[in-house]
Structure 1
Amino acid sequence: MSGSNTAGGARTALEQGERSRATMMLVLATVGFGVNFWAWSLISPLGGDYGERLDLTGFQQSALVATPVLVGSLGRIPIGALTDRFGAKFMFPLVSVLTIIPVLFIAFVADSFPMMLLGGFFLGLGGTSFAIGVPFVSSWYRVSKRGAALGIFGMGTAGTAISAFTTVPLADSFGRQAPFVLVSVILAVYAVVSYLMLRESPDRPRPAGSFVANTAATMKLGVTWQLAALYALGFGGFVAFSVYLPTYLVNAYGLTGTDASFRTAVFVILAVVARPIGGALSDRIGAIKVLLVSFAATGVFSAIDAIGLPLVPIPTAAFLGMAATLGAASGATFALVGQVAPPNKVGSVTGVVGAAGGLGGFVPPLVMGATYDALGSYTVGYVLLALVAFGMAAFTWGPVRKAALRRAETAAAAPVDPAEPTTGGNTS
């Protein structure tokens, strides 16, 4: 009896230790994601300032704030595949250190529109950190807990809010270079800490075959493209608003740059908070339901903003509603990734899906800028967003729901392999 109690106590202590380790890894990954996202978002709050100083058109200003989004999106494909192969312990410090270079380039070298585009191009590297953290966190958590865990990791998008809150005040108080220098120092500190403290899950699946073969195999998966479409609207919508909302509020409502940045930060914070809620709800009631409601509501809120009413109160409420629904949709999408993606391809699938999300954020600012230059109004842009949101709700209920059901039926019929790491490692 005593021996049984001793063994049970040892197992309990071991499980508690594994849960604590998984929690620590989740915190470290979330911080790394947040810091790199902070760097990724540095240009956006100063978009109006750059527009005046460099005498940019509306389209050029949109291109300037959207360029890091494009590169940070496409870069997630190779970074996700490299994470599958080399692990987050190697990739997080590497990406953090490399991101310092464009941050300092923009601060001290870039003095023209082409130079800013060049700096923004390489600044996009910070946005690829998302594709490092998702497979890392997934490997530490069981399938039943991944939605919530990935939702918490997704709160690293708060780096965008930090940028919105701090960049303009720091630049006004200490000079335009100040926020860039601060972020460079924080990136360097995180690179050292992550190198020393990150640990890979013992159940982390290793892909077989070459980088090219694994990427090609990922591209052939139907689930990859379905998830990519969902994330293009969910996260893409969030990114589009987080980078373009300051410019929109200045142009459409005549707000100051500081006021517009603070309002954008509120939007970002609400979306960040909604993301883990979407993930947790997906664990409880299913990701499909969360996505369906989120996209339908986004369409309604977009239609309201298309009317062009005074900013307070109705459009403001609609913007905040969109922040919540887009955040929840982002969390639900990656809850679905953790459930339906092959375990040894989570990083690769994440890279493609994350790229689609970023591309979804790259296009709308350009559309908004072009329509504003041509028509002096943003109405067309919001009408298009509403149509896309309603279409995505229908897509979710149709092909995506059917594919998820087929995947669940296949998994239920398959024999259980105790060595299979689909439960994601060590925590329950």
Structure 2
Amino acid sequence: MSTTTPTPTRPPEDQLPGMPPPALTLAVATVGFAAAFWVWALVAALGPDLSHRYGLSSVQQALLVGAALFVGSLGRVPVGVLTDRYGARLMVPAVSLASAVSLTAAAFAESALALVAVACAFGAAGTMFAAAAALVSRSCPPGRRGRALGVLGAGVAGVAVAAVASPSLSHADGSRTVFLLAAAVLAAFAAVAAAVVRDRPSLNANPSMRGAVAGALRVPEVPRLAALSALACGTMIAAAMFLPAYLRSQYGVDWRQAMLGTAVFVAVVAGSRPVGGWLVDRHPAATVLAGGFGLAGGCALLQAFAPPLGPPAAMSLAGVAVGLGAASGAVMALIGVLAPPERVGAVAGAVGVVGGVAGLVPPLLMAGVYAVDGSFGIALTVLSAMLLAAATHLRARPEWIDAPSEPAPALPAAGQGPTVITVGWADLRRNISAVATALAAMARHHELLIVHGCDGTPTHQSVHILVAALRQRLPRHRIAAALVDTSPCSGRADTDLIRELLDDGWVTVAVTASPDPDGAAATLGERIDATRLLRLTTTASGRFALASVPRPAERPPVRDLAR
């Protein structure tokens, strides 16, 4: 058997020539994300001043805020797709400049209608999430990606800045001054980002917007990530929206103290997000999410009974903030862990838009309950029930969020097409768990044909052993196994079957009667026009590595062991 040589792979972004350190990229992205969220929340924070200035009714003020939130959520998809295609070096400054222009226009808007149009442009700031998430995900190594995305999520502290600082500045100098100041901040950030940010667009980004969005939605984890984002972020929005009114009605504090308490609440959420991302790097995602939702739900239930103002109320509200922060940080981390590298911007955009729009459900539900009953206690109980139900579900079915325990092995860059991975019988017997984990991680993002050998004539047990392990790790994928014979006189029936299964989206396992399946894998790879032909090996400790398998033209003649 010929020896294998490692296949050159594209190095991580932080190792490419001229790339800044990942820590600097993360710092720039987090500052930009915080500034963008500050701007996105300005319409809501300056609501009373804008209503007085333009004579807006409460309904018109709500529509003004809703327009900015809706456009900011919906715009994340195209911004994410464009970030995959053109790179964050272009898109991060572009989003910042677009927001700065809209702020300048808002400062000089003379009518309520013009202000509504500008508020829609304000939504551009909300799209920074997709561009920043793609930048951080591609800049940080897999083992630290969850923590990095959690740190990025701490940028929601910009909402706390908007809630505390913006009204004070507006009362002193008017909303025009606040808008112009924010525009200057974003313009300065755009200049810094253009000078510092360095990344490369995805080699395999889909040139079609529709195709890119469809590809992102086909990632199996996207609907579940969107549901988790809606619950974590929507509950946080509900808490932040209703907390000022709750503190005033329940505890009799004045408006300034209520806004300060809300800002502290959001700051605790922001500070807890990096913890959630860090935990996802080290523990199963379902455990982290269940813990966050469980803590938030339990503390919300305690707060429903209106504990006395002071340490009891402060501790229960802090528990809600910590739990929601850890859960939302874990969701952000999972985007980087589960999304294919070439689609991380599109996936972040899809999760962001679905989570952002569906995230309006918890605050609307709380508003409806409060309108009917007139009690925040019932509304908090409903909120607690939603969180505890999610925690119970994740504890009972941890495979629902199906995050790999290790990062997928980095595959060499190649064109579109199937990837063939071979696994020797010795590796399979030595550590079936590590092999199945690595293969499952790759199968989430690549069209995969797995070829493994067996010791002697294939039996039902030798076929079933790997398929069963893969089905445990990929409960939402279709997995098929086939016995193959690649000898010259065997015909191409096996190949046609495998090609049909791959075209239909199946993860296909081909079993050959040789302990070393490289020859069969090379033949199958040539017949199905595979773009990669690799061998997976493991160590006793569970580590895995990939090496190239020579193509048939490169292999010396060998006796066909399958005969």
Both proteins in one fold, TM over 0.5: yes
Q: Residue 157 of structure 1 aligns to which amino acid in structure 2?
A: V
Label 1:121 to 1:19 Cα distance change in 2 as closer, same or farther (>3 A). closer
2:318 equivalent among 317, 320, 331: 320
Label 1:252 to 1:275 Cα distance change in 2 as closer, same or farther (>3 A). same
How do 1:87-126 and structure 2 match up within 5 A? 87-109=87-109, 112=112, 117-126=116-125
How do 1:90-239 and structure 2 match up within 5 A? 90-109=90-109, 112=112, 117-200=116-199, 204-239=202-237
Describe the superposition over 1:75-104 as per-residue Cα deviations: whole angstroms up to 9, x where unpaired.
212211111111111111111111124333
- Structure 2: stretches of 5+ with no match in the other structure: 1-13, 407-434, 443-535, 537-544, 549-563
Q: Partner residue of 1:46?
A: 46
Q: Residue 387 of structure 2 aligns to which amino acid in structure 1?
A: A
**Distance across 2 between alignment mates of 1:403 and 1:218:** 17
**Distance across 1 between alignment mates of 2:119 and 2:306:** 32
Q: Residue 129 of structure 2 aligns to which amino acid in structure 1?
A: F
Higher relative contact order (CA 8 A, sep 6+): 1
Q: Partner residue of 2:27?
A: 27
Secondary structure, aligned partner of 1:404: coil
Label 1:318 to 1:250 Cα distance change in 2 as closer, same or farther (>3 A). same
Q: Residue 154 of structure 2 aligns to which amino acid in structure 1?
A: M
Segment of structure 1 superposing worse, 62-71 or 158-167: 62-71
Q: Residue 205 of structure 2 aligns to which amino acid in structure 1?
A: P
How do 1:290-329 and structure 2 match up within 5 A? 290-309=288-307, 311-329=309-327
Q: Is the 8 A contact 2:150 2:274 kept in 1?
A: yes
**Distance across 1 between alignment mates of 2:241 and 2:68:** 10
Label 1:372 to 1:190 Cα distance change in 2 as closer, same or farther (>3 A). same
1:387 equivalent among 382, 385, 388: 385
Q: Is the 8 A contact 1:73 1:354 kept in 2?
A: yes
**Distance across 1 between alignment mates of 2:231 and 2:317:** 15
Q: Partner residue of 1:82?
A: 82
Q: Is the 8 A contact 2:72 2:126 kept in 1?
A: yes
Label 1:172 to 1:251 Cα distance change in 2 as closer, same or farther (>3 A). farther
**Distance across 2 between alignment mates of 1:301 and 1:61:** 32
Residue 332 of structure 1 pairs with residue 358 of structure 2 = no
Residue 412 of structure 1 pairs with residue 410 of structure 2 = no
Q: Partner residue of 2:421?
A: none
**Distance across 1 between alignment mates of 2:398 and 2:344:** 18
Q: Partner residue of 2:271?
A: 273
Secondary structure, aligned partner of 2:221: helix
Structure 1 residue 360: deviation in Å? Answer: 4.3
Q: Partner residue of 2:239?
A: 241
**Distance across 2 between alignment mates of 1:396 and 1:18:** 43
Segment of structure 1 superposing worse, 187-196 or 19-28: 19-28
Segment of structure 1 superposing worse, 354-363 or 78-87: 354-363
Q: Residue 339 of structure 1 aligns to which amino acid in structure 2?
A: V
**Distance across 2 between alignment mates of 1:126 and 1:109:** 18
Q: Is the 8 A contact 1:144 1:283 kept in 2?
A: yes
**Distance across 2 between alignment mates of 1:64 and 1:106:** 12
**Distance across 2 between alignment mates of 1:158 and 1:349:** 23
Of Structure 1 and Structure 2, the greater helix share is in 1
Residue 351 of structure 1 pairs with residue 349 of structure 2 = yes
Q: Residue 43 of structure 1 aligns to which amino acid in structure 2?
A: V
Structure 1 residue 254: deviation in Å? Answer: 4.8
Q: Partner residue of 1:4?
A: none
Describe the superposition over 1:325-365 as per-residue Cα deviations: whole angstroms up to 9, x where unpaired.
11111111122222222222111111111223322443344
Q: Residue 108 of structure 1 aligns to which amino acid in structure 2?
A: F
Q: Higher Cα Rg: structure 1 or 2?
A: 2
Structure 1 residue 122: deviation in Å? Answer: 2.5
Structure 1 residue 247: deviation in Å? Answer: 4.7
Label 1:191 to 1:302 Cα distance change in 2 as closer, same or farther (>3 A). same
Q: Is the 8 A contact 1:96 1:126 kept in 2?
A: yes
Q: TM-score, normalised by structure 1?
A: 0.83
Q: Residue 265 of structure 1 aligns to which amino acid in structure 2?
A: A
Label 1:252 to 1:64 Cα distance change in 2 as closer, same or farther (>3 A). farther
Label 1:222 to 1:169 Cα distance change in 2 as closer, same or farther (>3 A). same
Describe the superposition over 1:223-278 as per-residue Cα deviations: whole angstroms up to 9, x where unpaired.
00111111112223223333453354445555433222221111111111101011
Q: CA RMSD in A?
A: 3.1
Label 1:15 to 1:223 Cα distance change in 2 as closer, same or farther (>3 A). closer
**Distance across 1 between alignment mates of 2:170 and 2:289:** 39
Label 1:213 to 1:267 Cα distance change in 2 as closer, same or farther (>3 A). same
Q: Partner residue of 2:560?
A: none
Structure 1 residue 64: deviation in Å? Answer: 4.3
- Structure 1: stretches of 5+ with no match in the other structure: 1-13, 420-428
Structure 1 residue 417: deviation in Å? Answer: 5.2
Q: Is the 8 A contact 1:92 1:191 kept in 2?
A: yes
Q: TM-score, normalised by structure 2?
A: 0.65
Describe the superposition over 1:280-329 as per-residue Cα deviations: whole angstroms up to 9, x where unpaired.
12212232211011111111122223334554443333222111111111
Label 1:280 to 1:157 Cα distance change in 2 as closer, same or farther (>3 A). same
Q: Residue 438 of structure 2 aligns to which amino acid in structure 1?
A: A
Q: Residue 389 of structure 1 aligns to which amino acid in structure 2?
A: L
Q: Residue 37 of structure 1 aligns to which amino acid in structure 2?
A: F
Q: Is the 8 A contact 2:229 2:359 kept in 1?
A: no
Describe the superposition over 1:146-173 as per-residue Cα deviations: whole angstroms up to 9, x where unpaired.
0111111112212112212211111122
**Distance across 2 between alignment mates of 1:18 and 1:411:** 34
Secondary structure, aligned partner of 2:42: coil
**Distance across 2 between alignment mates of 1:417 and 1:209:** 30
Q: Is the 8 A contact 2:274 2:329 kept in 1?
A: yes
Describe the superposition over 1:45-85 as per-residue Cα deviations: whole angstroms up to 9, x where unpaired.
3345556774644x665554444333222221221111111
**Distance across 2 between alignment mates of 1:212 and 1:21:** 34
Q: How many residue pairs were aligned?
A: 403
**Distance across 2 between alignment mates of 1:48 and 1:248:** 18
